[in-house]
Structure 1
Amino acid sequence: MSEHRHTARRGRSLLPVALGALILLPLSALPAQADPAGPSRDAPAPAPRATTGAEAGTAAHLRAIRDDPRRLDRFFRALPKGGELHNHLSGAASTEYLIELAAGDGLCIEKETMTAVEPPCGPDARPAADARTDREFHDALVRAWSMEDFPADGNGHDHFFAAFGKFGEVTWRHPGKLLANVADSVAEQNQFYLETMATPASESGKKLAAAVGWDPDLARLHRKLVAGGKLDKLVAEARGEADATGAEFRETARCGTGRARPGCKLTVRWISQVSRASSKERVFTQMALGMRLAERDGRFAAVNLVQPEDAESSLENYRLQMRMLKYLRGVYPKAHVTLHAGELWPGLVKPEHLKFHIKEAVGVAGAERIGHGVDLEHEDDWQRTARTMADREVAVEVPFTSNAQILGVKGDDHPFATYRAHGVPVVLATDDPGVSRIDISHEYRYAARTYGLSYPELKDLARASLEYAFLPGRSLWRGNPTRDGYAPTGACRGTPPGAQEPRPQCRRLLKASPKAAAQWRQEAAYRDFERTFGGAR
Structure 2
Amino acid sequence: MTRIITLFCIFIAQIGFSQSAESYLEKIRNNEALLTAFFQQMPKGGDLHHHFSGSVYAEPLLERAIAEDFYLNLETMAVSKTKPANGNWQTFSSIKNDGKLDYYQQQIMQTWSVKDYNGSVPSDDQFFDSFMKFEPTIKGHFAEGMLELKKRAIAENVSYIETQLSTIPCDMNVSDLSDFNTKLRQAATQKDEKAVLKLLDELYKSLQKKDAKKYADDFNNNFLAKLHKDLKIDDERFTMRYQNFVLRFMEPVDLFKNLTIAFISSNESKLTAGVNIVSPEHGENSMKDYWLHMVMFKYCHSKFPNVKYTLHAGELTLGLVQPEELTWHINDAIYIAGANRIGHGVDIAYESNSYDLLKYMAKNNIPIEINLVSNEFILKVKENRHPFTLYKEFNVPIVISTDDAGILRSNMTEQYVLLAKRYPDVNYETIKKYVYNSINYSFIQDESVKKQLIKDLDNRFKTFEAKFSKN
Q: Aligned-pair distance for 1:175?
A: 1.2
Query: Aligned pair 1:447/2:407, yes or no?
Result: no
Could you tell me which of 184, 202, 219 is aligned with 2:201?
219
Match of 2:193 in 1: none
Match of 1:149 in 2: 116
Structure 1 residues 124, 232: CA separation in 2 closer, same or farther (over 3 Å shift)?
closer
Structure 1 residues 214, 197: CA separation in 2 closer, same or farther (over 3 Å shift)?
farther
Query: Aligned pair 1:535/2:469, yes or no?
Result: yes
Could you tell me which of 404, 411, 435 is aligned with 1:462?
435
Q: Which amino acid in structure 2 is aligned with residue 86 of structure 1? A: H
Q: Aligned-pair distance for 1:55?
A: 12
Q: Aligned-pair distance for 1:151?
A: 2.1
Could you tell me which of 62, 86, 94 is aligned with 1:99?
62
Match of 2:187 in 1: none
Does the CA contact (< 8 Å) of 2:275 and 2:309 recur in 1? yes
Match of 1:169 in 2: 136
Counterpart CA distance in 1 for 2:19 and 2:156 is 23
Structure 1 residues 167, 263: CA separation in 2 closer, same or farther (over 3 Å shift)?
farther
**Which structure 2 residues correspond to residues 314-353 of structure 1 after superposition, within 5 A?**
314-353=286-325
Could you tell me which of 218, 222, 225 is aligned with 1:237?
218
Counterpart CA distance in 2 for 1:314 and 1:343 is 12
Q: Aligned-pair distance for 1:130?
A: 4.3
Does the CA contact (< 8 Å) of 2:30 and 2:421 recur in 1? no
Secondary structure (helix, strand or coil) at the match of 1:343 reads coil
Q: Which amino acid in structure 2 is aligned with residue 321 of structure 1? A: H
**Which structure 2 residues correspond to residues 245-394 of structure 1 after superposition, within 5 A?**
245-246=227-228, 250=231, 255=232, 265-394=237-366
Query: Aligned pair 1:190/2:124, yes or no?
Result: no
Counterpart CA distance in 1 for 2:24 and 2:228 is 42
Structure 1 residues 101, 62: CA separation in 2 closer, same or farther (over 3 Å shift)?
same
Q: Which amino acid in structure 2 is aligned with residue 237 of structure 1? A: D
The percentage of aligned residue pairs carrying the same residue is 28
Secondary structure (helix, strand or coil) at the match of 1:242 reads helix
**Number of residue-to-residue matches in the alignment:** 434
Counterpart CA distance in 1 for 2:379 and 2:31 is 30
Q: Which amino acid in structure 2 is aligned with residue 454 of structure 1? A: N
Deviations 1:272-320 (CA, angstroms, capped at 9, x unpaired)? 1111110101111111111111111111111111001101111111111
Secondary structure (helix, strand or coil) at the match of 2:49 reads coil
Q: Which amino acid in structure 1 is aligned with residue 90 of structure 2? A: A
Counterpart CA distance in 2 for 1:184 and 1:125 is 34
Q: Aligned-pair distance for 1:141?
A: 1.4
Q: Which amino acid in structure 1 is aligned with residue 223 of structure 2? A: E
Match of 1:127 in 2: 92
Could you tell me which of 461, 468, 471 is aligned with 2:444?
471
Match of 2:457 in 1: 522
Does the CA contact (< 8 Å) of 2:392 and 2:398 recur in 1? yes
Counterpart CA distance in 1 for 2:421 and 2:127 is 25
Q: Which amino acid in structure 2 is aligned with residue 282 of structure 1? A: D
Counterpart CA distance in 1 for 2:36 and 2:273 is 33
Q: Aligned-pair distance for 1:138?
A: 2.2
Counterpart CA distance in 1 for 2:327 and 2:100 is 51
Deviations 1:115-141 (CA, angstroms, capped at 9, x unpaired)? 112246997424079499944432221
Q: Aligned-pair distance for 1:336?
A: 0.5
Secondary structure (helix, strand or coil) at the match of 1:336 reads coil
Q: Which amino acid in structure 2 is aligned with residue 236 of structure 1? A: D
Q: Aligned-pair distance for 1:210?
A: 3.8
Does the CA contact (< 8 Å) of 1:55 and 1:456 recur in 2? no
What is the TM-score of this pair, normalised by structure 1? 0.76
Structure 1 residues 70, 412: CA separation in 2 closer, same or farther (over 3 Å shift)?
closer
Match of 1:84 in 2: 47
Secondary structure (helix, strand or coil) at the match of 2:53 reads helix
Structure 1 residues 224, 403: CA separation in 2 closer, same or farther (over 3 Å shift)?
same
Deviations 1:425-473 (CA, angstroms, capped at 9, x unpaired)? 1111110000000000000000000011222121111111111111235
Structure 2 unaligned runs (5+)?
A: 3-16, 185-198
Q: Aligned-pair distance for 1:243?
A: 4.0
Does the CA contact (< 8 Å) of 1:192 and 1:518 recur in 2? yes
Q: Aligned-pair distance for 1:152?
A: 5.1
Does the CA contact (< 8 Å) of 2:273 and 2:445 recur in 1? no
Counterpart CA distance in 1 for 2:466 and 2:236 is 27
Q: Kindly indicate which of the two structures has a greater share of residues assigned to helix.
A: 2
Counterpart CA distance in 2 for 1:56 and 1:358 is 42
Q: Which amino acid in structure 2 is aligned with residue 527 of structure 1? A: K
Q: Aligned-pair distance for 1:267?
A: 1.1
Moved more, 92-101 or 62-71: 62-71
Structure 1 residues 159, 280: CA separation in 2 closer, same or farther (over 3 Å shift)?
same
Deviations 1:12-38 (CA, angstroms, capped at 9, x unpaired)? xxxxxxxxxxxxxxxxx49xxxxxxxx
Does the CA contact (< 8 Å) of 2:92 and 2:101 recur in 1? no
Structure 1 residues 55, 155: CA separation in 2 closer, same or farther (over 3 Å shift)?
farther
Secondary structure (helix, strand or coil) at the match of 1:195 reads strand
Secondary structure (helix, strand or coil) at the match of 1:446 reads helix
Q: Aligned-pair distance for 1:360?
A: 0.7
Match of 2:147 in 1: 180
Secondary structure (helix, strand or coil) at the match of 1:427 reads strand
Structure 1 residues 440, 358: CA separation in 2 closer, same or farther (over 3 Å shift)?
same
**Which structure 2 residues correspond to residues 389-408 of structure 1 after superposition, within 5 A?**
389-408=361-380
Query: Aligned pair 1:418/2:390, yes or no?
Result: yes
Counterpart CA distance in 1 for 2:30 and 2:284 is 46
Q: Which amino acid in structure 2 is aligned with residue 143 of structure 1? A: Q
Q: Aligned-pair distance for 1:67?
A: 4.9
Does the CA contact (< 8 Å) of 1:180 and 1:263 recur in 2? no
Counterpart CA distance in 2 for 1:189 and 1:347 is 36
Deviations 1:183-223 (CA, angstroms, capped at 9, x unpaired)? 2112222111111013343342xx34445445341111111
Match of 1:72 in 2: 35
Does the CA contact (< 8 Å) of 1:106 and 1:119 recur in 2? no
Q: Which amino acid in structure 2 is aligned with residue 139 of structure 1? A: Q
